[in-house]
C-alpha cells in the first residue's frame, strides 16, 4: 500500500504553496510526484490526458487515492462528457483532499460539486476564461469554494493576450482581490512553462508573491523547490519582522532604522512570521 502523507501531516489545499501536476494515466509517475516535495500533488484527468485515455486515468487515480495515496484531482470541466463520471468516481474516495475545477465559470456548478464530494474535499476554482474572470467575485463567494487558482495560459488564449506579466496583471490582481473580499486564502498562480531553468520559476514565484498570491501550479518536479522557497520569506525579511515586533511593546508607533513602524507594518511583520513558521523575538527591554 502506498502513502503520500508527509511527516508534517496530510496536505492542506487551503495553504499549500506548490501544486504539482501529474498525468492521471501515468501511474508510473505517481510515486515520483509524491516524493517531489510538493505540498499538493494534482492528479490530472483533464488537459494531460487524451480523450480515449480518460476512463483509464480515472481508474488509476481512484485506485491511488483508495490505496493510501492523498492529493488533489483536476477533474474535467463541467459540460464535457467526462465531468459527471469524474465526480461520481471520486465521491467518498478517502485520499481525496481537493478537486481543481477547470474553466470555472458558474458558482452553482462549484457549490453542487462541493455538496457531492462533502466538506472534507476542498473545491478550488481554476479561473482560465474571460467569463470566469468576469464572475470571479461570484466564484470566490460560492458556498463550498475553498480557494481560487489562475489558469494563465488558457486565459491568455481566451482573451488573445500574451502570457506575460503585464498583459495579465489585472487578471491576477482580480483573483487576489476576490479572494480577500470572500475571506479565502491567497490564490494559486499559474504555471511557468520553462521546465529547465529554476531561475525563471524563482522569478515568476517572486512576482506572484509580490501580487499577493499564496501558491503556484507546477508542471515538473524540478520546479517545486523554487516555488516552495519563493513562498517562504527570506532570512532578511524574517529578521526585520522580528525586529519590528520586538520594538513595538505598547501598541503605539515606533522607529526602526529611520523608518516609522505603525499598525500596518506590525501586522505585516506578523504575517511574515506566520508564513515562515518562526516565532517572534522577545520584546526589547524597556528603560
Q: Is residue 286 part of a domain?
A: no
* Number of domains comprising the chain: 2
> pLDDT (tens digit, 0 to 9) for every residue of the chain, 287 residues total?
445 654 445 568 999 999 999 999 999 999 999 999 999 999 999 999 999 999 999 999 999 999 999 999 999 999 999 999 999 999 999 999 999 999 999 999 999 999 999 999 999 999 999 999 999 999 999 999 999 999 999 999 999 999 999 999 999 999 999 999 999 999 999 999 999 899 999 999 999 999 999 999 999 999 999 999 999 866 655 666 676 676 676 656 666 766 777 677 676 667 666 666 556 655 555 43
Residues 27 and 153 in one domain: yes
| Distance linking the first and last C-alpha atoms of the chain | 61
Q: What CATH number does the domain containing 196 carry?
A: 3.20.20.60
Q: Is residue 88 part of a domain?
A: yes
Residues 126 and 168 in one domain: yes
Residues 239 and 224 in one domain: no
Q: Is residue 81 part of a domain?
A: yes
Give the Å distances, CA to CA, from 142 to 7, 10, 57, 123, 134. Answer: 33, 25, 29, 10, 14
Burial class (CB in 10 A: 0-12, 13-18, 19+), 2: middle
Q: Is residue 9 part of a domain?
A: no
For the stretch 224-269, pLDDT in tens is: 999 999 998 666 556 666 766 766 766 566 667 667 776 776 766 6
Q: Is residue 72 part of a domain?
A: yes
Residues 240 and 224 in one domain: no
Give the Å distances, CA to CA, from 196 to 13, 21, 26, 54, 265. Answer: 26, 16, 21, 29, 37
Q: Is residue 188 part of a domain?
A: yes
| pLDDT at position 232 | 87
For the stretch 130-151, pLDDT in tens is: 999 999 999 999 999 999 999 9
Cell of 57: 486515468
* Host domain of residue 270: 235-276
Amino acid at each position: 500500500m502506498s502513502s503520500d502523507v508527509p511527516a508534517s501531516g496530510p496536505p492542506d489545499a487551503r495553504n499549500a504553496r506548490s501544486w504539482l501536476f501529474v498525468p492521471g494515466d501515468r501511474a508510473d509517475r505517481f510515486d515520483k510526484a509524491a516524493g517531489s516535495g510538493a505540498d499538493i500533488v494534482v492528479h490530472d484527468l483533464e488537459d494531460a490526458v487524451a480523450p480515449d485515455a480518460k476512463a483509464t486515468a480515472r481508474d488509476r487515480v481512484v485506485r491511488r487515492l483508495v490505496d493510501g495515496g492523498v492529493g488533489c484531482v483536476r477533474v474535467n470541466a463541467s459540460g464535457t462528457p467526462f465531468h459527471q463520471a469524474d465526480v461520481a468516481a471520486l465521491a467518498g474516495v478517502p485520499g481525496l483532499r481537493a478537486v481543481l475545477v477547470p474553466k470555472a465559470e458558474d458558482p452553482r456548478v462549484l457549490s453542487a460539486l462541493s455538496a457531492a464530494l462533502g466538506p472534507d474535499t476542498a473545491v478550488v476554482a481554476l479561473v482560465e476564461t474571460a467569463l470566469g474572470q468576469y464572475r470571479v467575485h461570484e466564484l470566490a463567494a460560492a458556498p463550498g469554494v475553498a480557494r481560487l487558482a489562475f489558469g494563465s495560459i488558457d486565459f491568455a488564449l481566451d482573451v488573445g493576450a500574451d502570457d506575460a506579466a503585464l498583459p495579465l496583471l489585472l487578471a491576477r490582481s482580480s483573483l487576489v482581490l476576490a479572494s480577500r473580499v470572500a475571506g479565502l486564502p491567497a490564490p494559486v498562480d499559474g504555471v511557468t512553462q520553462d521546465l529547465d531553468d529554476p531561475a525563471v520559476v524563482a522569478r515568476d514565484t517572486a512576482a506572484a508573491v509580490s501580487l499577493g498570491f499564496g501558491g503556484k501550479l507546477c508542471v515538473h518536479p524540478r520546479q517545486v523547490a523554487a516555488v516552495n522557497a519563493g513562498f517562504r520569506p527570506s532570512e532578511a525579511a524574517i529578521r526585520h519582522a522580528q525586529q519590528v515586533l520586538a520594538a513595538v511593546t505598547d501598541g503605539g508607533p515606533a522607529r526602526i532604522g529611520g523608518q516609522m513602524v505603525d499598525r500596518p507594518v506590525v501586522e505585516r511583520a506578523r504575517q511574515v512570521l506566520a508564513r515562515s513558521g518562526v516565532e517572534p523575538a522577545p520584546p526589547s527591554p524597556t528603560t
